[in-house]
């Protein structure tokens, strides 16, 4: 299926070059790569493929722009971010359609991502003018302490393919608010949305060189070169833990400031006193949002044995009714996975679960034909030894394991190296409070399957990351603290 005329018209508006220093230019070698629609496998755009030299030129542009941008008044930065938010809302449907075409998610979820991504622009337009310092006397009265917060400097962002707008705005907005310039490398599977966003920032009045975008099919080479450059002051990465560990090792050589939002293995605990209607809706949202391709996706569904049969049947009945199709179609519930590798992983995990004793209640297979589709799947009676219990699924596969008491539920939930988010459904306020204290995650949803909010600090513990994005805490990741003593 080829793109419809209005879809092609939108794709044509996206630049094909690298955004460096306020101009759109080809790769230094003329290299290009294709971007595909995962729903059909067809090429939708061919864009410039950045080299290491291109990335270093982008960093040079960011370094050149840094001083002037840092000296721009906080109100000036705020106004640009607010204009960007307004422009994004004006083009809400265009961005949603672009996300759906290049990433595969249902258009309704793409619209939600635009709303969510836009909130980072609005939130940090407001936070830009609220960066505070401090002035206080020394305890012995010999002088005064002045604490200032200053921009860290040029930053390098590596963003994932699953939320191509929101993951870009979640990093770019606080950086700009703090007075930092940016080089951003979007995922090669979904670079078009980020390019389109940078075009919008230019339209909002962002000065040349403040944000530079360099898509590449050689991310390791590009990142290695940038992280070795002493002019770079900050790295922010969203992606897998193994890649994050390698980046941290490289960043250590120059003692870079780092923010890492890494893998997840989210437990979803349903206690015997849970509101089942609410729990079913919550797990459908937490598991199948973005076709299961989210670091916050519920990965291990841990249900009390007294209600597990009823819960599993109700969830399975709902999942069996989900409509599979191209994300841009209004009726689609489950779109295409991002590529064939994601389908192969889902197949492998389901096969392993069945081999270790699980029962398939619905779904369980890939779909033949064009595009990378996998049936939304519910598995019951997972074994603790199943790969689903230890690997991040990143697909529309829901597996249920049973527990007998609270202690066992907590043990299962915490039995992982990851600690991004957890979900708990209980009507007992005391049980909920205990879960806040006992579950080893950086975030928790209590009786809700959706926790992301621009006003909240997003991030994990253990091998799920370092630092926080969003909320009051988000801008601090891009500020250094300076102390000055003024003697009396």
Q: Which residues fall within 8 angstroms of residue 71, CB to CB, at 6 or more apart?
A: none
User: Has 295 been annotated as catalytic?
Assistant: yes
Whether the CB-CB separation of 437 and 443 falls below 8 Å is answered with: no
Residue written as tokens 């202690």?
Answer: 407
CA angle 285, 289, 295 (to 5 degrees): 105
Cβ-based neighbour number of residue 323 at 10 Å = 11
Alpha helix segments (H runs only) across 187-327: 192-203, 219-228, 241-252, 276-288, 308-320
Q: What DSSP assignment string belongs to 400-420?
A: EEEESSHHHHHHHHH-SSEES
Strands (E), 323-427: 359-362, 366-367, 373-374, 377-380, 397-403, 418-419, 421-425
Distance separating the N- and C-terminal Cα atoms of the chain: 76
Q: Which residues fall within 8 angstroms of residue 4, CB to CB, at 6 or more apart?
A: none
In whole angstroms, what is the distance from residue 151 CA to residue 140 CA? 31
Which tokens hold the place of 80? Answer: 């640009």
Q: Which residues fall within 8 angstroms of residue 141, CB to CB, at 6 or more apart?
A: 488
Whether the CB-CB separation of 248 and 258 falls below 8 Å is answered with: yes
Q: Which residues fall within 8 angstroms of residue 151, CB to CB, at 6 or more apart?
A: 66, 69, 70, 178, 179, 180, 478, 479, 480
User: Has 180 been annotated as catalytic?
Assistant: no
Give the residue from 264, 463, 407, 391 showing the smallest Cα distance to 399.
391
State the catalytic residue, choosing from 102, 295, 375, 469: 295
Residues linked to residue 418 through DSSP beta bridges, in sequence order: 462
Check residue 110 and give left, alpha or beta (phi > 0: left; psi -120 to 50: alpha): alpha
Residue written as tokens 């993951």?
Answer: 167
397-403 and 298-304 beta bridge pairing: parallel
State the catalytic residue, choosing from 261, 375, 392, 469: 261
Q: What is the dihedral of CA 21, 27, 32, 38, to 10 degrees?
A: -20
Active site residues: 261, 295
């Amino acid at each position: 299926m080829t793109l419809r005329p209005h879809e092609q018209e939108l794709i044509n508006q996206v630049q094909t070059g690298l955004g460096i220093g306020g101009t759109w230019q080809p790769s230094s070698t003329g290299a290009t790569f294709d971007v595909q629609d995962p729903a059909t496998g067809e090429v939708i755009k061919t864009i410039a493929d950045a080299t290491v030299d291109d990335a270093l030129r982008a960093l040079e542009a960011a370094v050149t722009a840094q001083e002037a941008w840092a000296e721009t008044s906080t109100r000036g930065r705020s106004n640009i971010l607010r204009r960007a938010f307004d422009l994004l809302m004006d083009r809400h449907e265009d961005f949603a359609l672009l996300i759906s075409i290049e990433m595969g998610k249902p258009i309704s979820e793409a619209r939600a991502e635009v709303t969510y991504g836009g909130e980072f622009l609005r939130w940090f337009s407001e936070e830009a003018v609220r960066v505070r310092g401090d002035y206080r006397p020394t305890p012995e009265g010999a002088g005064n302490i002045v604490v200032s917060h200053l921009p860290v400097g040029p930053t390098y962002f590596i963003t994932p393919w699953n939320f191509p707008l929101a993951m870009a705005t979640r990093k770019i907005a606080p950086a700009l608010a703090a007075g930092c310039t940016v080089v951003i490398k979007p995922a090669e599977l979904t670079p078009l949305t980020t390019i389109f966003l940078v075009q919008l920032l230019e339209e909002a009045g962002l000065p040349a060189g403040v944000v530079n975008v360099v898509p590449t099919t050689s991310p390791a080479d590009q990142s290695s070169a940038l992280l070795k450059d002493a002019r770079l002051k900050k790295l922010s990465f969203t992606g897998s833990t193994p890649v994050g560990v390698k980046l941290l090792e490289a960043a250590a050589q120059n003692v870079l400031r780092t923010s890492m939002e890494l893998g997840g293995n989210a437990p979803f605990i349903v206690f015997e006193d849970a509101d089942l209607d609410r729990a079913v809706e919550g797990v459908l949202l937490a598991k199948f949002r973005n076709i299961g391709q989210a670091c916050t996706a519920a990965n291990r569904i841990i249900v009390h044995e007294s209600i597990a049969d009823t819960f599993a049947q109700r969830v399975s009945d709902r999942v069996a009714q989900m409509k599979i199709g191209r994300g841009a179609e209004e009726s689609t519930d489950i779109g295409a996975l991002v590529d064939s590798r994601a389908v192969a992983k889902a197949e492998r995990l389901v096969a392993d679960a069945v081999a270790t004793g699980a029962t398939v209640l619905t779904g369980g297979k890939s779909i033949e034909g064009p595009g990378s589709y996998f049936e939304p799947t519910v598995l019951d009676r997972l074994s603790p030894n199943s790969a689903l219990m230890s690997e991040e699924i990143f697909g529309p596969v829901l597996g249920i394991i049973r527990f007998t008491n609270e202690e066992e539920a907590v043990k299962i939930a915490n039995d992982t190296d990851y600690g991004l988010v957890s979900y708990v459904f209980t009507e007992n306020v005391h049980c909920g409070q205990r879960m806040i204290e006992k579950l080893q995650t950086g975030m928790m949803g209590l009786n809700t399957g959706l926790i992301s909010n621009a006003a909240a600090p997003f991030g994990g513990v253990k091998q799920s990351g370092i630092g926080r994005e969003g909320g009051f805490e988000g801008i601090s990741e891009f500020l250094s603290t300076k102390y000055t003593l003024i003697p009396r």
